[in-house]
Amino acid sequence: MVRRIIALMIKEFLALFTDKKSRMVVIVPPVVQLIIFGYAASFNLDHVPYAVYNEDSGRASRDFLAKIQGSPNFSLKTVIRSDTEIAPLIDTQKVRVVVHVASKFSENLLHNRPAEVQIIVDGRNSNTAMVVLNYLNSIVTDFNEQWAILHGHSPPPARLYVRSWFNTALDSHWFIIPGIVALLTLVVTMLVTALSVAREREAGTFDQLLVTPMRPLEILIAKALPGFIIGTFEATFIILVVVFWFHVPMRGSVPALYLGLFTFLLSAVGTGLMISSIAVTQQQGLLGAFLFLVPTIILSGFATPIANMPPMVQVLTYLNPMRYFLIIVRSVFLEGASFDLLWTQYWPMAVMGILALATAGWLFRRRMY
Amino acid sequence: MKVPQNRGVRNGINFMRLNGLIRKESYQIVRDPSSIAIAFVLPMILLFLFGYGVSLDAKYVPIAIVVEHQSNETSDFLAGFRQSRYFVPVIVTDMQTAEQAMIERRVDGIVWLREDFGKKILNTGDAPIGVFVNGVDANRARILEGYVRGVWGKWLERTSIESGRPLYIPVKVKERIWFNAEMRSRNFLVPGLIAVIMTLIGALLTAMVVAREWERGTMEALMVTPVQVREIILGKIIPYFIMGMGGMTLSVIMATWFFNVPLKGSLWVLFAGSSLFLITALSMGLLISVVAKSQFVAGQVAIIVTFLPAFILSGFIFDISSMPAIIQTLTHVIAARYFVSMLQTVFLAGDVWPIIIYDGLALAAMALIFLMIVKKRMKKRL
């Protein structure tokens, strides 16, 4: 039995790796995408282009604007002199923000009257707009505190001291890059498994396989193992790059991460094979793979938090294996988690994987044409 | 069979032959329901699911508030959190419980009011309020911090009025948010999703059609007929274009009626831009199909080069101008990038011509390049 499985497995690897194009597709893109996405995917805002419209000629306004200019989050694009210049700049997205200092800004400040700053933001991307406003508001708060101290005003009754856990610099790369481990592992496993049975069905070789002494279980194992092996290798490679190239801290237990990876691969390979054995043609297999991949990735919490979804959709995400693995990856990397905090995340993936694999094996014989 | 009048070759295209090819492709589409499902049902399901599911608006964030010593001042401060729709506050009495809740991911943040909070406010002022946020999701943490600052700022104003001790705030910020005043993330995510979904649909529709013909040998049969390469290309693109535009129309209707995304620009600009993009997406699918030669590889390539780049590098969710310069340059080869920018502008800002013309030209150039490569690669095989 073991020898038969190994023989079929070798054949599967040959089918994947002897064709140069197919070999390239499984190995090169994940590596390239890892590097590109690792740098690209982030909610950090650096060098947000902004324009200044200063109607005040006093020193205080210059001091205030210097604070914004000194921040690495903003880069001054242009200085404007009239109201009418604002709209064209923002409409064409040449700048994201216009900081408008009203006249008498300095005079008002010196006479202890409130001085006004108007901030006009491009709200097309509401998330960027909100983050930009938060940045600017904290610059203003800093300025206000310094001004109050310098000019002898009494302090506010209470002050906030904000600290963030696990990611002190609030670098959003640390959130996204560990997620790429899950993302690319899922894509690679789908590539390897989703078309494997469908291709043989279309070529007619699957019928031949079914009349050999191999039992469906053996075929199932032999078809599943390449996905597992390739998935484990690529995931390990990605994890190494995440730690040593992107310098995301690995604070938790590596075995806990690999148990997660194992259960995740189980569910991914299972689903891939299930799709593949339902499909009659490769076209249907591809469609199935897409239909599984796209919602799985978008509704996994990879980019947008599950907590923001409406309750109904949140319930739906419990059927999403990537949801659990993302929690495991991020907890192990950043929160330093170990098995005790994660056991609730492992079993749903394992159950899904076993169910999917069983369905795939059962379909091998039922769907014959 | 009726013979069309325009038999002659016009612009190098024989319309009778083209007609035949289109008819053949249409039969194939109609008889295999899967491509109709791809063009019409898939965009609706995906847009429905994602339009609801994908959101960056944090609401009802669970937060632990540590009140070590209860007093009038603390309950006054708490009221701000209780009234805010952004928070679901959980009141605890010691820091340890709050930390445990944060480690177990039951709360996303902690606000810590120490024992002497009330006393300090009444006497010296400047009472420290510790705020701890779970920074794993840095974006959410930052938004959360902004919300806490908002509650704090309102509380400051309220107490200064109530206590009769006017609080002097030197610089006041007046925020004006253009195009999306209520800051709904759905308003920019739904147009972006349409671009991502249509990239998928375009590639899915055509990625395998030519590869399939080669695998089955029908392409060689086609090659020995007088049919010209440009006729084959048009014959493949036109039927799928019509189907794709159907899906696109459904998506736009859903976006405006179902998700209430405002459409500030004009419909015909939207229509023209969408047509351009769809042609680009279909050409990309054809290109994959022609280069890969086998359905297996074409399918794999389609998964890799369409969905993830459109998702991550298009500016649909991650801001392109904050990416490193090299990556920014790289995004110029992603067709979805131009469509995302065009859709977000046409939906939310209106017909801003500099953006629309730039994006339109880029899309047209990409489609042209793709089609030229397709034509070249197909000829080689003859």
The DSSP string of A326-350 is HHHHHIIIII---HHHHHHHHHHHH
The pLDDT assigned to B381 comes to 52
Least confident of A242-246, B168-172, B326-330: B168-172
* Helix-helix angle B229-253:B353-380, to 10 degrees: 140
Contacts of B190 (CB under 8 A, 6+ apart): B47, B51, B255, B259, B261
Cite the beta strand spans of chain A per DSSP E.
Answer: 48-54, 74-80, 97-101, 115-122, 158-165
Inter-chain CB pairs, A–B, below 8 Å: 354
Question: CA-CA distances (angstroms) from residue B250 to A233, B253, B325?
Answer: 42, 5, 36
Contacts of B271 (CB under 8 A, 6+ apart): none
Distance (Å, rounded) from C-alpha B201 to C-alpha A286? 12
The pLDDT assigned to A268 comes to 96
Under the banding of pLDDT at 50, 70 and 90, the label for residue B18 is confident
Model confidence, pTM: 0.87
Token pair in block for residue B31: 């008889």
Cα angle at B166 between B163 and B171, to 5 degrees?
140
Give the 3-state secondary structure of residue B2: coil
pLDDT at B265 over 90: yes
The residue count of chain B comes to 382
The pLDDT assigned to B262 comes to 92
pLDDT at B7 over 50: no
Of all residues in chain B, what percent carry a pLDDT higher than 90?
A: 40
Model confidence pLDDT, tens digit, residues B46-82: 898 888 888 888 888 999 999 998 888 888 889 989 9
Please state the domain extents for chain B. Answer: 14-54+185-380, 61-162
CB contact under 8 A, B170 and A147: yes
The pairing of strands A74-80 and A115-122 is unpaired
Distance (Å, rounded) from C-alpha B326 to C-alpha B313? 12
pLDDT at B382 over 80: no
Taking chain A (369 residues) in runs of 10, the rounded mean pLDDT of each run is 87 83 81 90 88 91 92 92 91 92 90 90 89 91 88 82 89 92 93 85 84 87 92 94 94 94 96 90 84 91 90 92 95 90 92 94 75
Residue A96: beta bridge partners? none
Under the banding of pLDDT at 50, 70 and 90, the label for residue B5 is very low
Cα angle at A31 between A25 and A33, to 5 degrees?
90
Residue located via tokens 């075995």: A255
Under the banding of pLDDT at 50, 70 and 90, the label for residue B38 is confident
The pLDDT assigned to B6 comes to 45
Contact status, residue B77 vs residue B148, Cβ threshold 8 Å: no
CB contact under 8 A, B138 and A116: no
B349 close contact with A: CB closer than 8 A: yes
- Interface subset of A 216-255, CB within 8 angstroms of B: none
Q: Which residues of A31-59 are buried (b: 16+ CB within 10 A; e: fewer)?
A: eebbebbbbbbbbbbeebbbbbbbebebe
- Interface subset of B 184-203, CB within 8 angstroms of A: 184-185, 187-189, 200
The DSSP string of B182-214 is T--HHHHHHHHHHHHHHHHHHHHHHTTHHHHHH
Model confidence pLDDT, tens digit, residues B232-262: 888 888 998 998 999 999 999 999 999 999 9
For B3, which DSSP code? P
- Interface subset of A 294-333, CB within 8 angstroms of B: 294-295, 297-299, 303-305, 307-310, 312-313, 316-317, 327, 330-331
- CA of B12, closest CA in chain A: separation in Å? 33
Contact status, residue A255 vs residue A272, Cβ threshold 8 Å: no
The gap between the terminal CA atoms of chain B, to the nearest Å, is 30
Model confidence pLDDT, tens digit, residues B174-226: 888 888 878 888 898 999 999 998 988 888 788 877 788 878 888 888 878 88
Q: What is the ipTM of this complex?
A: 0.86
B40 close contact with A: CB closer than 8 A: no
Contact status, residue B134 vs residue A164, Cβ threshold 8 Å: yes
Choose, out of B59, B99, B139, the residue to mutate when testing the contact with A (most A CBs < 10 Å).
B139
Residue A118: beta bridge partners? A100, B174
Q: Which residue of A has its CA nearest to B46?
A: A295
For B115, which DSSP code? T
The pLDDT assigned to A369 comes to 52
Contact status, residue A279 vs residue A288, Cβ threshold 8 Å: yes
Choose, out of B178, B183, B332, B346, the residue to mutate when testing the contact with A (most A CBs < 10 Å).
B178
Burial group, residue A273, by CB count within 10 angstroms (0-12, 13-18, 19+): buried
Domains present along chain A, CATH in parentheses: 2-41+172-366 (no CATH), 48-150 (3.40.1710.10)
The pLDDT assigned to A357 comes to 93
Contacts of A189 (CB under 8 A, 6+ apart): A227, A230, A231, A265, A268, A269, A272
The pLDDT assigned to A67 comes to 92
- Interface subset of B 122-161, CB within 8 angstroms of A: 125-143, 145-146, 148-149, 152, 156, 159-160
The pLDDT assigned to A51 comes to 95
Chain A residues near residue B161 by CB distance under 8 angstroms: none
The alpha carbon of A253 is separated from its chain's Cα centroid by a whole number of angstroms, namely 22
User: CATH classification of B61-162, choosing from 3.40.50.150, 2.40.10.340, 3.40.1710.10, 3.30.365.10?
Assistant: 3.40.1710.10
The pLDDT assigned to A368 comes to 58
Residue A127, Cβ neighbours under 10 Å: how many?
23
Q: What is the pLDDT averaged over residues B260-278?
A: 94
- Interface subset of B 302-321, CB within 8 angstroms of A: 302-305, 307-308, 311-313, 317-319, 321
